[in-house]
Amino acid sequence: MTQRGYITPAWRKLGELPEKRYDVVVVGAGVAGMTAALSIDPSCSVALVSKAELAESSTHKAQGGMAVAVGPDDSVQLHFDDTMRVGQGACRKEAVAVLTAEGPAALAYLQTLGADFCRDGNGLTLTREGGHSCHRVANYYDYTGRHIAETLAGEVERRSNIEPIKGAFLVDLLTAAQGCCGCLVEVAGRLIHLRAGAVVVATGGYSGLFARSTNALSSCGDGIAAAYRAGVVLSDMEFVQFHPTAFTTLTGKAFLLTEAFRGEGALLLNEARERFMPAYHESAELAPRDVVSRAMLRETERQGGGSLYLDARHFGKDYLVDRFRQVYAELAKNNYYMERDIIPIAPAAHYTIGGIKTDLYGRTSLPCLYACGEAAATGVHGANRLASNSLLEGVVFGRRVAACINGSRVSTAVSGALCEGVLDRGPDLELSVLQSRLEAAAGVVRQADGLSSLLSTLKTGPKNEPGAADRRGYQASNAGRLAALLVEAALLRKESRGVHYRTDFPDKCDADAGKHTLQQWGKEAVLA
């Protein structure tokens, strides 16, 4: 297989690069990557590659919790039904069945590693979020993701078979006749060849490509871009979930206000300080995220601009300071006090549903390459992710990837392909310009003219040409490539479904229910 990589002629032969060998390389150290690494047979050597600090990961930023059917009024079937309903006809039923059925075991797994969840005298204090029909979200105050990430990271440090490789950027996946045989990473300006019998991509999503995002810029789809260059099939790249309640800090960044606020009774108010969601949906503030985000845009237009607000004042200070510790502290640093002030909010890109197409065990279209977490497109979220299903997905499918690898015979005795062929150069756009244009064309609301104009720029503009071990060039090229794939998929889906809303095709197309956009290097994108 021809490698469609970045590497300049000075680095073409792998033999010129320092090499390290492992049984398995896991790229990404969020909940999915760390779960996969920890669940691989301890007799296997594992490299756990991470690009940024733990606090930069989407897992670490997750506030609300983990949805799991363990409550007295809940069931696996009810969790399945809610996930399917919110997914708007685009979920893969088999994937949803796996997610919901294995949820209780995933929760128990985290608890065996030392993860804690809030309790009272009756057991777990489950909360409710948008789209759920009952209280089902296990949480650790409002920093559940951080708590889970720190628990997993502590266990990684205790495992002698796992070698963390920190500050490493995934440059390319390497292939041989039998499939993926390792990857190239850049560490401190130096390229290193990691050879392995299996590679797991758990690098997260690409919502950082948008100008307003709850995630860091590091969430820009590098693993998905590398898989695409290796010829792997991608799916559902048009589906990007925007979280309705994000606050703009004094630094200009979007800070997430967890959905648990609305789940526990916070209200959304317009400029006139009037509640508006009941006019848009029967579930009001507890409607799915796509519904709430679009309703907020319509309400802003209806009132001729101005702000919208989250009102949690009726909770009282003592409850807010205890239950929502992280959010209360962050807002206080920005001179807002939730027991006194209503908080200005606006939607922000939050989670990407599309990514590397996988089966129920994380296998991709390239042998020996696996994907899990937000980088993967399992079909479990359909056209709109049910709140707090993401941490659950990372644990469930991280464990399934490891189970599949454990049942295979991995070997590093393979020869890698030469890194030569087509250089995949992204458009020469300033990243801030790309983010703003993507926000305008492919945000909460889309239409053909804006999408087509941006795609034309992305395909025909001047190209970046990364030099050897040029991380900024790699990242800019990946950003342009991922943006083009997103926009192409959004143009292909000529309907509105879940988080994908087109003003020129405002209704669902029944004939497209259950269809997925599929994109692969050198082939025409299809909806099938």
**Active site amino acids:** 289
Residue 524 tokens read as 């025409």
* 108 burial level (CB within 10 Å; 0-12, 13-18, 19+): exposed
Indicate the residue type of 149. Answer: A
Cβ atoms of 12 and 419 closer than 8 Å: yes
Count other Cβ atoms within 10 Å, centred on residue 329: 11
Three-class secondary structure assignment of 316-353 = CHHHHHHHCHHHHHHHHHCCCCCCCCCEEEEEEEEEEC
Q: Do strands 355-357 and 376-377 pair parallel, antiparallel, or not at all (unpaired)?
A: parallel
Q: Where in 249-289 does DSSP place strands (E)?
A: 254-256, 267-269
Give CA–CA dist 507/493, Å, rounded: 11
* Residue 377 bridge partners (DSSP): 357
Residue of 74, 181, 73, 152 lying closest to 394 (CA atoms): 152
Give CA–CA dist 11/2, Å, rounded: 16
Taking CA atoms, 222 is separated from 309, 355, 393, 467, 524, in Å, by 34, 11, 20, 17, 22
- What's the count of helices (H) and strands (E) in the chain, helices before strands? 15, 21
Using DSSP's 3-state secondary structure scheme, residue 54 falls into: helix
The CA-to-CA distance between both ends of the chain, in Å, stands at 26
Taking CA atoms, 418 is separated from 7, 8, 175, 455, 492, in Å, by 10, 12, 9, 31, 34
Indicate the residue type of 292. Answer: V
Taking CA atoms, 474 is separated from 5, 94, 186, 416, in Å, by 10, 36, 10, 21
> Please, which residues have CB within 8 angstroms of residue 137's CB and are 6 or more apart in sequence?
64, 65, 66, 67, 126, 127, 128, 129, 260, 263, 387, 388
Using DSSP's 3-state secondary structure scheme, residue 163 falls into: strand
Give CA–CA dist 473/430, Å, rounded: 11
Cβ atoms of 254 and 350 closer than 8 Å: no
